[in-house]
Every structure is written in C-alpha cells, then in structure tokens.
C-alpha cells in the first residue's frame, strides 16, 4: 500500500503549489472511514481509493481531483455523509464526490434501469465538472485491474458494462490509454479463447518478422532526417481487442489481416505533419483509399492525426499515424490533457490550430449533445440505448448546402442528417438530395456528401423511421412524434365517445366543462383526459360524473362499445390487412425481404399481377426510382388475431458446435415460426458462417424481440434484416 508521504510527493513533484495539508487530511479521513473493510481480494478496502488517486496522480491532475479520488467511496460505503464532506473539505470536493456516488435508494425494477440512472447522474455531474469523469474512469480502471478476484458471474457483468459504457466513454473523451487497457482486460474476461488465439498469432508473427519493426523505424527516421525533418518514430503491434474488433467489423479471419503493425511519427508543428506525409508516400507506395486527414476534420473526441497505409519492406502493409507531440498528448489522455493547460498556454496551442479550451473542445460539444439526448429520453432504458448508440459509432462528415459541417455516425441516413440540423427539420423531412441528386431517405451517407433536406409542414415522421435511423437523437424524436400522433388519435376517439354520451343525455359538449373536471380526473389537461378515454384507461362514465352529469352505467358501456366497433370497421380488414390499395387489386408481400405490421411499407404495381408490398428500406426499391407511376403509398391496417407475416433475417454464427441450436431455440422461445432456412459458409472465412432464415411473426415488435434474443447469444455475431 502506498504511504501517505509517497502520495504527497507524487503530487508535489508535478505541482509544487499543491495543498499538502488537504492531501494529508483526506488520506487519514478516508483510511479511518473505510476502517477494517476488505475487498474481494482480501486486501484493505482503502487500497482501492488510494490506487485510484495514484492513477490520477500519474495523469498529473490537480489536488481537488486527487482528494475526490481518496474520498469517492466514503459517502456510498461508510458512515460519512455529504454534509460532513462539505464541512471538512469544502463544497468543490463534495460536489465531485456527490457526482460519483451511486444511486442506492432508488426503487429500480431492473439492473439495466439502475445502470441507466447511475450513468445519467454521472453524465450530468460530468457536464458540470469533467473531473468527475476522470475519477470515475480511474475508479473503473482499478476495478478492472483487480477483476480476477471477483466471482465469475459478477466478473462478466462488470466486464460487459465496461465494454458497453466506460471504455467507449473514455474513447469519446479522448482518453485512449485508459480505453485500451479497459478493453483488453474486458476482452480477456468475455472472450478468453479469442484473446489467446490472437496473442499466440502475434507471438508467432513477431518471431517470423524478426526485426522488421526496427528496420522500418530506422529507415523512416533516416529518410525524414535527410529531408530536414526532426521526428520521433515509434513502432508497435496493434492490441488484441483492436485486432478482434477489426475482424468483426470487416468479417475477416485472422490470417486475412495485413496491417497489424502500426507506426506513430511525432513532429513539432502541423506543417511538418504534411511534409512527413509527403516523404512517407515518396518512400513507400500508398494503399489507395486508406488516407484519412483527422487534422483538417478532427474526430468528436478532439483526436487529430494523419493516417495512411503503405506497402513497406518485405511487401508488408504498415499503418502510419503522423501527428504533433501536442496532438499525441491529447490523443492519449484527452480531457485529462486539456485539464492541465493553463490560460497562457492555450494561445500557443491555438497558433498550431489546436483548440483545447474546454468551451471549444469537440469532446465537450459531444457531451452537451448527449445531454440534449438525455433530456429527450422518456425512460432510463431509452437513455441507455441512446447513450450506447452515441458512444459506439465512428463518424462520417457531411455538409449542408451552406457549407455547415455535420458529424454523423457510420451508417447514418438523410433522416439522421435532418435531425442533426434541427428536430423540426427532421420532423418535416419528406425527401433528400445528396450531392444535388434526389436520393432515397434510406441512403447511407458518405464522407464529404452535401445533403439538402426537402421539407413539408404537413409531414409527420412515420414510426418505421425508427428502424432506419442510427442516431439517438433521431430515434428519440421519432418516438416522441409517434407518441404525439397516437395521443392525438386517441384524444379524437375519446372526444367522440364523450360527445355521443352527452348527446344521449341531451347535454351539449362544452370544452370548458371538461376542463373544469380535469383536476378531479387526475390529468393535466383536456387532451390528456380524452386520450385516456380513447385508450380505455379512463371510462366515459367517470368523465361524466366529474362533470356532474348523471347517466345509466349500462348505457355508457354500450355506447363505448358501439363507437369502438365503428372505428374498427372504418379501418377495414383484408386477407392482407393493408390500406391504400384499390379493393380489386391483388396484394402480395415481396418474397425476399418480407414485411410485417408496424414498419413503413410501399407498394410497386405490376400490370396484370397486382401490387407487391416492400418495407421502405428494401434495397430492391432502388430499381424503381425512375418509375414513380408504379409506386403506391400503403399503410398497415388491423390484422386478424393470430395472423402471421413473413420477415427474412440474416444471422452470422461462429463455426462452433451448438450454434444452429441456439438460433432455433431462441426463435422457438419467442413464439416465432421458421418457414425456410439456408446455411452458407463464407468464402475464405473458416471462423463464421451465414444463416438466412425466413420467419413468420405477428408484427415488428415480435420480430425485434426475436432478433434481440439472437443477438444476446454468445455464438451469434450479427443479426440483420435482409434488405433485398
């Protein structure tokens, strides 16, 4: 265990003005507060906050952050109180500790809800003071380092949470060193076999390649020096989890990966970065399409660098990352590096084009955006989903017609772009132009695309858009608009019910009378009360009673049933429950993709054959782009009870015993029916095979339940709808 004086010496070494008395008092207070508490390893619990403080001292953070690290578990795990921390250490440190204290007394139903609420509190505290994040990440890092002492079932849950939330969060805030270590530890827990295979392969590769890394370092250093460039060249092997992630993303086997080696070239100024790039490309042949300029277009976490892949000695693919020393500092330590810059240093950094003040940081702008999503989420589960979406996706950079830069996740569509500009733009979106040409709203945007949104104030975003978009903001806005539309529809039905009842009693419908009765009904306004009536949550009898109108209860219930039946009849029922087609037209669902109630659909008419129904995202629709006369606007009606619909999905499975059984088990457990099943080995890939399944399901919710169930199985790599 680190001694009291050792911690003080570490801090004063980089900060001679540190408050030694405050550090000493915090050390003693935390040690006494934790007393005889022990960790799972059997060591004194106080060693944990001490190690967290040591990690932050390595990052050279201020005294208040170090003290908060020492105290971060006292309020949660000891008799200490928030007020006591305020009195002994001041409001600044107490605020940091409070931001880190888990929510223990909330009445949560699920572990996921608890996790979401804890994350919500952490992010809110972090938006006020980023030092909360630094302590939390150091806390999680030390917990991961000692994870082998935890019970296996808890170990996996912690590792998964780290992989889902904390490692990506560290990455988004630019703290790559912490992210890499967290991911590698979690990877070893969640997939130890894969980690061992990759480590063994790297060991063999290192033996086979001999001194290639050193050879490239010397050759590049010599070439740069001969061109008048003073640079530091560092060669390295990629980390096991980084290699695994690339294999998953590109669906490659380990033998197919070529750019396992990477080099960082560090120079002093930005202009030297581009001069170095020129030397590298003159020395070795560049791999086409593998150059990325993150200096001109920084990532959201403020990462700046030039990336290129070249064919180096021995025909080996080598990745080069070229950046300044300051860029490297920010790339490794992110907001922790930002926290160290003094006001007089910021001007010098700005001269190099580096905006590092908190208010100018891309990472902070992303955090503020995440806070907007937090406010839009209606439940902890939605918030957690949106946060994961924002954390995981890489970026594409697109432009408005006026030149405004919009950063979006990979796979984003014009709908995501519209909502990124403004929620009202997304809600009114009816079409798009990409690079001056009309493009379907399902188009996946690419770097450099100029996107123009076509709008109509009469538009209401359809619920099926939620399955198309990838950003949390767009998903939240679409759900909100869907709820508003449903609320309006139910309010209309409720108003019709009340009007009929009042008409039977020869009593005029007066909005003001209902408004006066609303407080007695427990609702905020008339629309809320009428919507509750339309949904069946509030009876018309209760509304009339609150208005002071007396009627016979049997008469009320009869009227309610009559109106409901009338509404159902107006929607109509067909062998295929679809609205928008002529009554004499034959309807069929596209055999490749399938289509299910709850998702947006369109029809393509074929003379003599009728109308084929497609889900809106089907790639097969692209062949009809130049035939607008064949398109038919369709919508789902009310399906008969027990009626099933086809949907085709593609499942990527690990090539292991029991994989197929896991798929059929999940489908059976969720009440799905397998109509057709095709198994296909991937060409040149021995580790995985593809399974195409034609399912019969009740609706989109039923289908999503099955797909989510499949994704949770360990031998399932990916699950996706077949789009055509």
CA distances from 399 to 289, 404, 418, 657 (A): 21, 5, 11, 48
CB contact at 8 A, 330 and 302: yes
CB contact at 8 A, 229 and 268: no
Q: Which of 617, 618, 611 is nearest to 634 (CA)?
A: 611
Q: Beta 601-606 vs 578-579: how paired, if at all?
A: unpaired
CA distances from 254 to 28, 250, 691 (A): 51, 11, 21
| Axis crossing angle, helix 20-34 with helix 47-58, rounded to the nearest 10 | 150
Q: Count CA atoms within 13 Å of residue 32 on its CB side.
A: 7
Helix (H, G, I), strand (E, B) or coil at 450: strand
| Axis crossing angle, helix 240-250 with helix 176-190, rounded to the nearest 10 | 70
Which residue shows structure tokens 């159902």?
568
CB contact at 8 A, 100 and 132: yes
Q: Residue 614 has which token pair?
A: 């497609």
CB burial of 178-187 (b: ≥16 within 10 Å; e: otherwise) equals: bbbbbbbbbb
How far from chain centre, in Å, is Cα 17? 41
77 is catalytic: yes
Q: Cα angle vertex 129, ends 126, 132, to 5°?
A: 55
CB contact at 8 A, 579 and 443: no
696 is catalytic: no
Nearest-angstrom CA–CA distance, 724 and 612: 13
Which residue shows structure tokens 């998953």?
248
Tell me the Ramachandran region of residue 462: left when phi exceeds 0, alpha when psi lies from -120 to 50, beta otherwise.
beta
Q: Residue 599 has which token pair?
A: 């998702």
Question: Rounded to the nearest 5°, which phi and psi values hold at 432?
Answer: -150, 155
Name the catalytic one among 15, 20, 62, 77.
77
Name the catalytic one among 76, 203, 271, 656.
76
> What are the CB-based long-range contacts (under 8 Å, 24+) for 474-478?
474/415, 474/416, 474/418, 474/419, 474/420, 474/426, 475/385, 475/386, 475/389, 476/373, 476/376, 476/377, 476/382, 476/386, 477/376, 477/419, 477/423, 477/426, 477/427, 478/426
Nearest-angstrom CA–CA distance, 260 and 208: 13
CB contact at 8 A, 528 and 488: no
Nearest-angstrom CA–CA distance, 616 and 664: 28
First-residue to last-residue Cα distance in the chain: 61
- Beta bridge mates, 102: none
CB contact at 8 A, 600 and 463: yes
Q: Which of 528, 530, 524 is nearest to 502 (CA)?
A: 530
Nearest-angstrom CA–CA distance, 510 and 543: 13
Helix (H, G, I), strand (E, B) or coil at 506: coil
Q: Residue 178 has which token pair?
A: 């912490």
Nearest-angstrom CA–CA distance, 522 and 529: 8
Q: List the alpha helices (DSSP H) in 146-191.
A: 152-161, 167-172, 176-190
Torsion of CA 570, 576, 578, 579, to 10 degrees: -50
Q: Count CA atoms within 13 Å of residue 48 on its CB side.
A: 27
Question: What amino acid positions are annotated as catalytic residues?
Answer: 76-77
């Amino acid at each position: 265990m680190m001694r009291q004086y050792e911690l003080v010496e570490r801090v004063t070494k980089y900060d001679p003005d540190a408050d030694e008395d405050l550090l000493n008092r915090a050390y003693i207070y935390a040690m006494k507060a934790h007393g005889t508490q022990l960790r799972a390893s059997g060591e004194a619990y106080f060693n944990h906050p001490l190690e967290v403080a040591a990690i932050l001292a390595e990052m050279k953070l201020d005294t208040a952050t170090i003290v908060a690290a020492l105290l971060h578990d006292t309020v949660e795990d000891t008799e200490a109180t928030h007020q006591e921390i305020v009195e002994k250490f001041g409001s600044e440190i107490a605020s940091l500790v409070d931001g880190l204290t888990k929510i223990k007394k909330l009445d949560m139903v699920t572990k996921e809800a608890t996790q979401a609420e804890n994350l919500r509190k952490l992010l809110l505290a972090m938006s006020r003071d980023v030092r909360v994040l630094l302590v939390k990440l150091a806390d999680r890092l030390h917990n991961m380092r000692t994870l082998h002492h935890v019970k296996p079932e808890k170990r996996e849950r912690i590792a998964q949470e780290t992989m889902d939330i904390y490692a990506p969060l560290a990455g988004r805030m630019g703290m790559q060193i912490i992210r890499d270590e967290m991911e590698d530890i979690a990877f070893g827990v969640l997939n130890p076999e894969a980690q061992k295979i990759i480590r063994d392969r790297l060991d063999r590769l290192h033996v086979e390649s001999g001194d290639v890394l050193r050879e490239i370092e010397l050759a590049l250093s010599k070439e740069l020096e001969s061109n008048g460039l003073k640079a530091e060249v560092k060669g390295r092997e990629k980390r096991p989890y980084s290699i695994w992630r690339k294999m998953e993303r590109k669906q490659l086997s380990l033998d197919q990966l070529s750019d396992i080696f990477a080099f960082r070239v560090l120079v002093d100024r930005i202009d030297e970065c581009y001069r170095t790039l020129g030397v590298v490309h003159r020395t070795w042949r560049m791999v086409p399409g593998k150059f990325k300029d993150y200096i001109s277009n920084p990532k959201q976490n403020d990462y700046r660098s030039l990336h290129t892949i070249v064919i180096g000695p021995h025909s080996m693919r080598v990745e080069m990352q070229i950046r300044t020393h300051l860029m490297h500092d920010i790339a490794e330590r992110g907001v922790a590096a930002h926290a160290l810059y003094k006001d007089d240093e910021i001007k010098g950094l700005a001269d190099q084009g580096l905006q590092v003040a908190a208010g100018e940081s891309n990472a902070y702008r992303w955090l503020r955006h995440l806070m907007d999503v937090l406010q839009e989420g209606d439940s902890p589960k939605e918030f957690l989903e949106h946060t994961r979406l924002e954390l995981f996706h890489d970026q594409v950079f697109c432009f408005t017609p006026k030149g405004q830069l919009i950063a979006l996740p990979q796979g984003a569509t014009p709908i995501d772009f519209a909502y990124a500009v403004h929620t009202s733009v997304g809600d009114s979106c009816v079409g798009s132009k990409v690079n001056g040409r009309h493009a379907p709203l399902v188009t996946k945007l690419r770097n450099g695309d100029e996107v123009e949104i076509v709008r109509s104030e009469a538009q209401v975003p359809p619920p099926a858009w939620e399955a198309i978009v990838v950003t949390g903001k767009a998903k939240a806005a679409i759900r909100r608009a869907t709820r508003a539309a449903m609320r309006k529809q139910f309010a209309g039905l409720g108003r019709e019910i009340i009007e009929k009842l009042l008409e039977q009693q020869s009593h005029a419908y007066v909005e003001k009378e209902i408004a006066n009765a609303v407080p007695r009904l427990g609702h905020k306004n008339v629309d809320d009360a009428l919507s509750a009536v339309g949904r069946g949550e509030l009876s018309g009898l209760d509304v009339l009673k609150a208005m002071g109108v007396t009627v016979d209860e049997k008469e009320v219930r009869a009227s309610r049933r009559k109106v409901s039946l009338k509404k159902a009849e107006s929607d109509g029922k067909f062998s295929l429950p679809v609205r928008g087609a002529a009554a004499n037209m034959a309807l069929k669902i596209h055999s490749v993709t399938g289509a299910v109630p709850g998702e947006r659909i369109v029809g393509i008419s074929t003379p003599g054959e009728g109308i084929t129904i497609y889900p809106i995202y089907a790639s097969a629709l692209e062949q009809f782009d130049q035939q607008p006369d064949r398109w038919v606007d369709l919508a789902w009606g009310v399906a008969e009870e027990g009626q099933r619909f086809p949907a085709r999905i593609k499942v990527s499975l690990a090539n292991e015993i029991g994989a197929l059984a896991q798929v059929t088990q999940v489908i059976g457990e969720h009440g799905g029916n397998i109509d057709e099943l095709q198994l296909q080995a991937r060409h040149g890939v021995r580790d995985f095979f593809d399974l195409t399944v034609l399912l019969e399901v009740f609706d989109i919710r039923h289908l999503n339940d099955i797909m989510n169930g499949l994704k949770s199985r360990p031998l399932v790599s990916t699950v996706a709808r077949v789009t055509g």
